[in-house]
Amino acid sequence: MTRLRAHGERLFLPVVIGAGVCAVVASLCELAVNPVDLRWFVLAGLTVLSGSATLRLPGTAVSFSISDSFTMAAALLFGPAAGTMTVAIDGLVISMRLAARRPLPARRVLYNATAPPLAMWCAAHVFLWLAGRDGVAHARYALGHLVGPLLVFAAIFFALNTGLVAIAIACEQRVSALHIWREHFSGLWLTYFGGAVVAAQLIVLVQERDAGLLVLVLLAPIPLIIYATFKHAVGRMEDRVGHLDQMNGMYLSTIETLAQAIDAKDQVTHGHIRRVQQYAIKLAHALGITDASELQALEAASLLHDVGKLAVPEHILNKPSTLTPLEFDKMKRHADVGADILSSISFPYPVVPIVRHHHENWDGTGYPAGLAGEAIPIGARILSVVDCFDAMTSDRPYRQRVSPQEAARLLQARSGTMYDPRVVKTFLEIRETTLTPPPDCPDTSDAMTNITRTVQRGTRRSAAPPHDRELLATLFDLGFHAAQAGNPADGVANVQAVVQRLMPADIIALYVYSPEADHLIATVVVGAHAAQISGTTIPLGQRLTGWVAANRQPIVNSDAALDLGNLTLKLEPTPQTCLSAPICADGDLLGVVTIYSTRRQPFTDGHVPVLEVLAGGLARLLRPQADAPALEPPPYRTSDYAPDSRVH
């Protein structure tokens, strides 16, 4: 079948060219036997003159040319032979004009000069058969009976002329001829049917009172004047469309910059959103989506689908372990928050539904609305698949990347439950051939690159490893005494003297993290003002201690009032500065140890390793307590690579 089709494609052009040559030769022979009067030469000259007068409406596939009015008038007034020769001359002139700009193959020039005359020859003979040989001659008395034949004439000429060109292009490019015709030629109907109407008017006026040639010469400039006027109007429209395109480019650039800043907050390289965008658009084309509005919406939503993460605390986004149920609930809010943020922007295409529903599952178990199947916007289904694939093949704070083959296997396993089976099937089919990773974004500004690097690097200030033998011995004692205690309170009490020998540690406070309440409680406090500070509650992410807990980073020499608030005004001597470090074990946050000083003597970076050793010892004491109430494992993450809202 394939070989037969290829053989047919090779025969198509020679057959059409041969038939066109026969039509032209037959027309020449007929004109030699029955010559036409001077009016035909006027129409032929006007056809050549107006052949380049083609206008295309900006932003549409609709174009028209005033030369078609003259070619049709020639066929209607003087018969099929005259019309065929007029079209042949017009096609030859246009081919020569195109060849002057760039060389064209001989077969293409010959095809352009013979296919349109063949279409005109067929259409004109059908018109002659329907209207009769005397139909045009009596048009000024009874034009009504020509309306039907005129419409048939225009329709046949339109279908044959555009269809033959579309088939030729399809044979050359090995694509669907119907697709080519719909995309490039279906909008040309205005030229043909409008030309038929103008030709009918010319017929009536030319025959009126036998003033044919004079009327034709007087009327000829009118289409040219209309063309010049409309060209000016189209030019102004093109300027406006160009300005809108420029503004749209600035609009999309602003969107992309915002999206890159969001990804920097999420500690993902800015190449992620560009890859997701390109993957999504290619997958949409592979699925047969051609609607420009749908494609533009997907292009913008690919950049902005995680804008709602602005409302998610960074310690949740970048947590290197399993999210708690409370943390997962906060993470799920980003879909609705992002859609609500974008709802205030008057997008000319449906971006908001894609952003709101890109975490819906095919079986209805997703969020935020629990949509299922075809009820989920197709853009959201596409985005869900490509975003998950790119996320799984990239390193994240909570897991290492997997191979593309493993990611493809996981997508296939989730097909029909999390993802649309048709989208997954198409994605896997084009993944190795079409979805080649784009190069690193060369147009990304240095500023955006620095933002990402700064966020990923963090603000942690590490002191040089201690080499002093006495300090090493002290640190050993510190860790040993902290770890040997039976409980955190004894651990802090055991090391208090050691810590005070190394730094101005007037108050040592152990804040224990409560995942259920999502805050830290000053459970153990030794030193000055222990009774007043004990029991202080600090929400995760707030104040200095809460920031340290959320970001898993120490803070050195900060103002104690920023941590204790108004409580510092009631304390005498007043705490001046503080040093704080997180207490973690196996990636889980257990608490924070904060040291306050009532003296002006500052803490230094050299004190950080001392506090980190203390935090490590306290972690071994807090871990059994944290593990005591066995919590039911969260249902949304059953393995390192199981579904997780942060995968997207």
Cβ-contact 161, 122 below 8 angstroms: no
Cβ-contact 119, 126 below 8 angstroms: no
Sketch the domain layout of the chain as residue ranges. 2-219, 239-456, 469-627
For the record, the structure tokens of 521 come out as 């409680």
The terminus-to-terminus CA distance of the chain in angstroms comes to 45
Q: CA 279, CA 288: separation in Å to the nearest integer? A: 14
Beta-strand runs (E) in 477-518: 507-514
Q: Whose CA is closest to 138, among 193, 75, 71, 204?
A: 204
By the 10 Å C-beta count (0-12 exposed, 13-18 middle, 19+ buried), 533 is classed as buried
Specify the CATH number of the domain 2-219. 1.10.1760.20
Beta-strand runs (E) in 451-587: 507-514, 519-527, 537-539, 555-559, 577-585
User: 396-416 burial, b if ≥16 CB within 10 A, otherwise e?
Assistant: bebbeebeeeebbebbeebbe
pLDDT at 384: 93
Cis before 437? omega within 30: no
pLDDT at 225: 54
Cβ-contact 558, 515 below 8 angstroms: no
Q: Which CATH number fits domain 469-627: 1.10.238.10, 2.60.40.3880, 3.30.450.40, 3.40.50.300?
A: 3.30.450.40
Beta pairing class for 63-65 and 54-56: antiparallel
DSSP codes joined into one string, 108-176: HHHHHHHHHHHHHHHHHHHHHHHH-TTTTTTTTT--GGGHHHHHHHHHHHHHHHHHHHHHHHHHHHTS-
pLDDT at 586: 83
Q: CA 297, CA 282: separation in Å to the nearest integer? A: 14
pLDDT at 459: 38
Q: CA 89, CA 49: separation in Å to the nearest integer? A: 11
pLDDT at 342: 85
Phi-psi region of 508 (alpha: psi -120 to 50; beta: other; left: phi over 0): beta
Q: Which CATH number fits domain 239-456: 1.10.3210.10, 3.30.420.130, 3.30.300.30, 3.40.50.720?
A: 1.10.3210.10
Count other C-beta atoms under 10 Å from residue 368's C-beta: 16
pLDDT at 595: 95
For the record, the structure tokens of 110 come out as 């010959």
DSSP codes joined into one string, 170-228: HHHHTS-HHHHHHHHTGGGHHHHHHHHHHHHHHHHHHHGGG-HHHHHHHHTHHHHHHHH
> What's the one-letter identity of residue 55?
L
User: 498-527 burial, b if ≥16 CB within 10 A, otherwise e?
Assistant: bbeeebbbbbbbbbbbeeeebbbbbbbbbb
With tokens 């009504």, the residue in question is 144
For the record, the structure tokens of 188 come out as 């040309």
With tokens 């020039």, the residue in question is 109
- The reply to whether domains 239-456 and 469-627 share a CATH topology is no
Cβ-contact 63, 57 below 8 angstroms: yes
Cβ-contact 13, 111 below 8 angstroms: yes
With tokens 């980073």, the residue in question is 553
Q: CA 432, CA 413: separation in Å to the nearest integer? A: 19
Whether this prediction's pTM lies above 0.75 is answered by no
Give 10-residue mean pLDDT values along the chain (648 residues).
Answer: 52 85 89 77 72 53 59 80 84 71 71 85 86 60 69 87 83 76 73 72 62 53 56 59 64 67 54 81 90 86 84 70 76 88 81 92 91 93 92 70 86 92 92 61 46 44 43 58 72 84 90 91 93 92 87 85 85 91 89 92 83 84 57 35 46
Q: CA 54, CA 539: separation in Å to the nearest integer? A: 70
Cβ neighbours of residue 609 under 8 Å, at least 6 residues apart? 463, 465, 466, 475
Q: Whose CA is closest to 414, among 361, 354, 366, 377?
A: 361
Cβ-contact 53, 226 below 8 angstroms: no
Q: How far is CA 28 from the centre of its chain?
A: 57
pLDDT at 316: 74
